[in-house]
A and B are shown apart, each in its own frame.
Chain A
Amino acid sequence: MASKLMQRRRDRIDELAAGADEGVSLAKDAMRRMARNPVAITGASIIAVFAVLAVLSPVLAPKDPFIRYNELTDRLRPDAIPGPMPGFLLGSDQNGYDFFSRLLVGAQQTLIVGVMATLIGVSIGIVLGGLAGAIGGWVDTLLMRFTDIMLSFPSLLLAISIAALFARTSQWTVIIAVAMVAVPIFARLLRGSMLAQRHSDHVLAATALGVHRRTIVFRHMLPNALGPVIVQATLTLATAIIDAAALSFLGLGDPDPVRAEWGLMLANAQDYLEVKPELAFYPAIAIIVVALGFTLLGESLREALDPKTRR
């Protein structure tokens, strides 16, 4: 008796709740849950600051990051690199550029590399995983064997091998190498969640209604399978930035030392660690904080989209 009463009350509350969030989709529901999560807010704030810096860095930079300043070069000695001085917030780098301005502009370059690599990786991964999940059969087997092989290499090693295939290294070497490492991850992820969708009740129900196969794949399977991919993409942004930095560090990226990119700055600073450790320290911190931001956001997104924690 009591339990029945409870049940009725629960239903009533559910109904009220349902009435309150009129027209709210699952995505909005997830957004609302994220907005209440301090971890999500921290991650999103970090990324927001980073994004604003990246976009506005050309305007914000107090000096031109690509000009050697005489004030700096004059004082540049093998055992001393100028520290903070009027007009130059963090002083000079090893080549006589304004270090602070280069750090700011580096945000833009790093974001571009990370986002491009992730986008390319996700796109190819979705196509391959979607095909495998929707068609099945030998297409599935073939594609999954291929991803197995790719995944059996440590990711950085794979990225290095891919980058090493290019005759001339450039920024695109890094982007493509990092993207290719992400492809099998996304392919496998989407394929798995497409398979789960294929055996789901609502896909069976749609099939029982005679809905076209195309509609079933694109309306009933794919949108429901994308959740984990979105989460993984956010997390991949973090690793893409770190991997890109690592490739630059290893000299597999753009060889032009003038380019301001955190990984490259870090790499070029290694000979001056004893003279001016900040030259390595600041880019490294920037990379870590940004990667942390994407990781925090990705993890809280995963939590918010998890049906088990929902209501």
Chain B
Amino acid sequence: MALLEVRDLSVVFSRKGQSPFSAVDGVSFSVQPGQTVGLVGESGCGKSVTSLAIMGLLPRRSARVGGSVAFEGTELFSLSDKEMRDRRGKDLGMVFQDPLSSLNPVVPIGLQVTEVLERHRGMARKQARAEATELLNKVGIPDPTRRLSEYPHQLSGGMRQRALIAIALACRPRLLIADEPTTALDVTIQAQILSLLKELVAGTETALIMITHDLGVVAGLCDEVNVLYGGRIVERAERHELFAAPRHPYTHGLLDSIPRLDAARGEKLSPIRGSVADNIPWDGGCAFAPRCPNALRTCVEVTPELEWHEGRLLRCHNPVQPAALGVGSKEAR
């Protein structure tokens, strides 16, 4: 049985005086114990909303959540508030994008770690403190005993994110969701945090959902990658297959926009045309069509379905042909 089974997840935001906005639509994926799954896409494509929906953290009033999320066979959406609170932090952990604002500025780091240990593992203050020292040590924070009594603003960005990871993993959740955990950090620190995450989940039963806008991040980390566009999955493949032969023009474009060390001198990066701003809704055609180099007439007439295509899931009328790869996008222009 899968650890997490997301079926047909949809989130519609409705505000007074505004037309309802569909942020996530029909997203399905599953996560096996110990597996690392990537959710990739440009900002605004619904990654954070997906993760908040899984955690049950979307605002009740404005967000209508549909579909189902099963965790070890238990339907999370049918749990009571209290049951869900008991699971958050214990079964499901989450690491957010901005480590500074995700920590309480007026509470020492130590208390923010022991808080969860006392809450979910029933530890006494003293025992929790010993465990907290251990945890900070494990995530590579030097001099953990001293750090415990420090406040978030006294730590560097990288150290803060390490502390947040320690907090999220304190109760050994079986699923960790990391929502762009490196986006707010320096390039050098990014790599450290990524390898820390990798190290912490490798060889354990802890599964990881890695959310990022950067395909480079998933390259070294994920077993399986879901590419999101406009709130829907447009391509899902095993990591090696995806990187070797991206089939959706959007994935292809994302890959092409990553700087490469082996690129020839003078060769320009090729960013995808346009931006999510000229997003169109999915009904009556492909949402990516206006930006797509491969767009056909059918693309603006018929909404593509997510279908099996040569061993992967693909939502495209005119996928990139493997033969065209390498020279691909350059000739297309």
Interface window among A98-106, A142-150, A171-179, A211-219? A211-219
Please state if B146 and A22 are interface contacts (CB–CB under 8 Å).
yes
The 8 Å CB contact of B101, one of A14, A24, A29, A200, is A200
Please state if B156 and A219 are interface contacts (CB–CB under 8 Å).
no
Contact A210 to B94, CB < 8 A, known contacts A14-B156, A204-B57, A219-B104: no
Complex Cα–Cα for A18 and B98 (A): 19
Complex Cα–Cα for A217 and B303 (A): 46
Please state if A23 and B150 are interface contacts (CB–CB under 8 Å).
yes
The CB with the most chain B CB atoms within 10 A, among A202, A210, A224, is that of: A210
For A21, list chain B residues within 8 Å (CB): 154
How would residues 94 to 131 of chain B score, 1 for a CB under 8 Å from any chain A CB and 0 otherwise? Answer: 10101001111111000000011001100000000000
Please state if B155 and A202 are interface contacts (CB–CB under 8 Å).
no
Contact A224 to B106, CB < 8 A, known contacts A21-B154, A201-B98: yes
Which DSSP category, helix, strand, loop or mixed, fits chain A's interface? helix
Please state if B156 and A204 are interface contacts (CB–CB under 8 Å).
no
Please state if A202 and B105 are interface contacts (CB–CB under 8 Å).
yes
- Cβ of B181 within 8 Å of any chain A Cβ, yes or no, is no
For A7, list chain B residues within 8 Å (CB): 186
The 8 Å CB contact of A209, one of B89, B105, B188, is B89
The 8 Å CB contact of B94, one of A4, A202, A208, is A208
Please state if B105 and A22 are interface contacts (CB–CB under 8 Å).
no
By beta carbon, the residue of chain B nearest A207 is B57
The 8 Å CB contact of B151, one of A26, A209, A212, is A26
Please state if A220 and B107 are interface contacts (CB–CB under 8 Å).
yes
Contact A205 to B164, CB < 8 A, known contacts A210-B87, A212-B85, A223-B106: yes
For B149, list chain A residues within 8 Å (CB): 23
Contact A26 to B94, CB < 8 A, known contacts A21-B154, A207-B88, A210-B88: no
Please state if B119 and A211 are interface contacts (CB–CB under 8 Å).
yes
Chain A contact residue count (CB 8 A cutoff): 33
Please state if B119 and A209 are interface contacts (CB–CB under 8 Å).
yes
Task: Tell me the minimal C-beta distance from A163 to chain B in angstroms.
Answer: 38
Please state if B186 and A202 are interface contacts (CB–CB under 8 Å).
no
The 8 Å CB contact of A205, one of B87, B103, B153, is B103
- Cβ of A206 within 8 Å of any chain B Cβ, yes or no, is yes
Please state if A219 and B107 are interface contacts (CB–CB under 8 Å).
yes
Please state if B115 and A215 are interface contacts (CB–CB under 8 Å).
yes
Complex Cα–Cα for A210 and B168 (A): 11
For A219, list chain B residues within 8 Å (CB): 104, 107, 115
Complex Cα–Cα for A18 and B143 (A): 14
Which chain B residues (63-115) contact chain A, with CB distance < 8 Å?
85-90, 93-94, 96, 98, 101-107, 115
For B116, list chain A residues within 8 Å (CB): 209-211
By beta carbon, the residue of chain A nearest B179 is A208
- Cβ of A15 within 8 Å of any chain B Cβ, yes or no, is yes
- Cβ of B167 within 8 Å of any chain A Cβ, yes or no, is yes
By beta carbon, the residue of chain B nearest A215 is B115
Contact A201 to B101, CB < 8 A, known contacts A21-B154, A22-B146, A26-B106: yes
For B210, list chain A residues within 8 Å (CB): none
For A206, list chain B residues within 8 Å (CB): 104, 115
Complex Cα–Cα for A7 and B158 (A): 13
The 8 Å CB contact of B96, one of A201, A213, A215, A223, is A201
User: What are the nearest 10 A-B pairs in CB distance?
Assistant: A209-B89, A210-B88, A210-B89, A201-B101, A205-B102, A18-B154, A208-B94, A202-B104, A210-B85, A223-B106
Measuring CB to CB, which residues of chain A are less than 8 angstroms from any residue of chain B?
A: 4, 7-8, 11, 14-15, 18, 21-26, 29, 200-202, 204-213, 215, 219-220, 223-224, 311
Measuring CB to CB, which residues of chain B are less than 8 angstroms from any residue of chain A?
A: 55, 57, 85-90, 93-94, 96, 98, 101-107, 115-116, 119-120, 146, 149-151, 153-157, 164, 167-168, 186-188
Known: A211-B119, A215-B119. 8 other contacts (CB 8 A): A205-B103, A207-B57, A208-B88, A208-B96, A210-B85, A212-B85, A219-B115, A220-B104
